[in-house]
Structures are given as C-alpha cells and as structure tokens.
Structure 1
Amino acid sequence: MKSHFIAAAVALTAIIWLTPTETRADNASWGCQVLLCAASSNPSWHGVPYCKPPMYKLIAAMAKPGFSWPICPRSGTGKPGREEYEECPAGFKVAYSALGHEGNHSEPNRCEKTFNVCQDRNALKNLGKKVQYRRAAGDGENSCTQTISHPRKRRADPYFFDLKNDQGVKQRYWFNLNH
C-alpha cells in the first residue's frame, strides 16, 4: 500500500535535494513536504502519518487572508492546478448550467450532446433515463435535432501537480484537501 508514497518520495528526492546524503523528508521545506504528500496516491496523504501535519497546516493557511501557496523551488512546480469536474464522456461537450449574474455563465457543470434523431432514431433510447432533452430553438415539434445533457461528476481529488518522473515524462498527481 505504501509503495506509491515511497515511489513518489524517491522520484521527488532527485528533484528536491542535491545529494543523496541530504535526502531526508523531515528536513524538507514546507512546500516540498506539501508536494511530496500531495503526490502520494496509494495511500493518499490522509493515510500517511508524516503528511498530516504539513497538509493540515496548508488547509489552515488557505483560510487566512493573503495566503500564498508554499512552493518547492527545486521541483519546477508552483501552485497546483485545479479541475473541479471530471471530463465529459466521449462525444459530449462541456456545457454551462445556466446564465449567471449579468449574463455570465455559471459553472461548466453539464455535459451535452446533440443528435439528429431523424437519422438515428435509436441514439437517444440507448443513453438511459438520466438525461434532459431539449429541442433545437425555432425548429418546433418537427425538429430532427435534439440535445441531451447530464450533470458532470465532481472530482474526488480536484487538485493536481504535474511532475516529471525519472524518465523526464510529466505525470499528473491528483489530490484533495479534505480533512
């Protein structure tokens, strides 16, 4: 179980520290501790006792005014990325739930797909019952085009870091900041 944490630690050791004799996670800066813990995937940082103090410190600091993400300078990363929602299924595009204040879109929290039901009458039947149908505007009841939409799933782990592995290829590490 701890193999993914150990693998992340080994990969980050080369980035964070200059010589093998300096490779102690306890001596790492807070930003490097956060990065190391965020990259732990099996178990997540929640299951690694070493990770709880720096991550709880991060969560508390984020609630304060003027918060600045702690970074690990030698890693080549800054603050993490964040993607609140999972990708839409193949063939669907991201859609917004409604227009917000002053005509601005609210959140990209829906997936949509438009079908030509005159050409493929079974297309909508095969997608299940948890969809909303909308006829194309202005086409009335005789429209061949119908749009279906469904909610996008929220990610359990919305934050991510992209780190280079030992082959120099970027790998994405997803994490959350829940207690």
Structure 2
Amino acid sequence: MKLILAAVSLFLVSLLPRNAAADEWGCEVLLCVASSNPTWHGVPECRPAMDRLIVAMKAPGFSWPTCPEGGAGKPGYEAFADCPAGWSATQGDDVGRDATRELSRCMRSVDDCQGWQSRGVDRGDRSQAGGLGRVYHDRPPCAYIEYMARPRREQPYYFDIYDETSNRHSRLYFDLKR
C-alpha cells in the first residue's frame, strides 16, 4: 500500500507546474510527505517545494499551504514517540516556574518483592542509573516507580489522511530537516 502511494505521489508531483499556486503548492507538499520509500529527501522533484516550505515557515505570519483536494490542512506535531510496551507517558520532572506539562517521560510500576530483603531505602528516596530513575513509594521499598526519558520522534510532523474506500484514517509522519 505504501509503495503504491509513493509511486502515485511521485507521478502526481511530476505533473505539477514549477510555479504552483498556493493550494497546488500545498498539494505538492502533501504528495511529497506521503512518499515513504524513499522519503521526500530522496525525491529530487520534492526538493523545491519542501525547501520553499522550510524557508516560508521562518517568516512572520506564516500560513501552512493547504490541499483541499487531499483533505489536509495544517499538519499535526508530536515531538515524542510512544513509550515502550509496559510503560506509560507522564509529565516531565521539572518543578517551579519553568515546569512543563508535556508528557516527556515514560513510567512503569515495578513490584520486586519476591524474595525481598531490605535495601536500606526509605519512602520518597530516589536513585538514578543507566538513564532510568526510581522513586520508592511504599514500605517495604521493593515496590517503586521507574522513569525514563520518552523517545523523540525522528518524524514529528503528521497529516491524517482519510481513505474513502476503506473508511479509515491513516497517519503520515514526516520531518522537515534539510
């Protein structure tokens, strides 16, 4: 399916004029980001439209080029990937004025009480090792919550595209790195 979508995208991009109007430019951008193998970076016809987009995004009053025919407006943005299996997303650890509400960490509860022996830790104690943090909440301290940094997406932007034939939405992730 992705290969067919990429082939159709490449064909349609080649048909678009070089000096496309705003909505044509939006459709050209949409077709380029739909390319997955190779990504838009590997499609020479996509470079002008995507470079134009990246430059335009830095200008004051930037408005994302849309593609009404493709059913796509402004894309979404998800900085973080899903947490690994068994972990759930949670807010960052920052406190105070600069605290963030974004779900930038992953957490899981660990119950390591089988064969438990005192480790000399108390409720509220924290430890850090190998990128994982632990906060001990209960006595005995064999049950704790483990935290880790949430992985960042390589392709944080996305479009949700509706497919009328399957009556489903597909999410197309892409990046805007040059």
TM-score range, shorter chain: 0.7 to 0.9
The one-letter code sitting in structure 1 at the alignment partner of 2:42 is G
Deviation string 1:73-100 (CA, Å, 9 cap, x unpaired) is: 1222211111111101222111222235
Distance 1:120 1:3, change over 3 A: farther
Q: Whose helix proportion is higher, 1 or 2?
A: 1
| Alignment counterpart, residue 159 of structure 2, candidates 134, 158, 161 | 161
Distance 1:42 1:99, change over 3 A: same
Does the 8 Å contact 2:34/2:172 carry over to 1?
Answer: yes
Map of 2:174 onto structure 1: 175
Does 1:60 pair with 2:55? yes
Q: Distance in 2 between matches of 1:34 and 1:42?
A: 16
Secondary structure in 2 aligned to 1:171? strand
The one-letter code sitting in structure 1 at the alignment partner of 2:136 is R
With structure 2 as the length reference, what TM-score do the two structures score?
0.76
Deviation string 1:11-67 (CA, Å, 9 cap, x unpaired) is: xx6xxxxxxxxx933367110001110111110000001100010000001101111
Q: Distance in 2 between matches of 1:120 and 1:48?
A: 58
Does the 8 Å contact 1:113/1:148 carry over to 2?
Answer: yes
Map of 1:146 onto structure 2: 144
Residues paired across the two proteins, number: 159
Distance 1:120 1:52, change over 3 A: farther
Superposition pairs for residues 109-148 of structure 1, below 5 Å?
A: 109-118=104-113, 129-136=130-137, 139=138, 142-148=140-146
* Larger relative contact order (CA 8 Å, sep ≥ 6): 1
Does the 8 Å contact 1:4/1:42 carry over to 2?
Answer: no
Q: Deviation of residue 3 (structure 1)?
A: 5.5
Does 1:25 pair with 2:16? yes
Does 1:44 pair with 2:39? yes
Question: Mind listing any 5+ residue stretches in structure 1 that lack a counterpart?
Answer: 14-22, 122-127
Q: Whose strand proportion is higher, 1 or 2?
A: 2
Q: Distance in 1 between matches of 2:152 and 2:67?
A: 28
Q: Distance in 2 between matches of 1:103 and 1:31?
A: 36
Name which of structure 1's ranges 24-33 and 84-93 shifts more when overlaid on structure 2.
24-33
Map of 1:75 onto structure 2: 70
Name which of structure 1's ranges 98-107 and 40-49 shifts more when overlaid on structure 2.
98-107
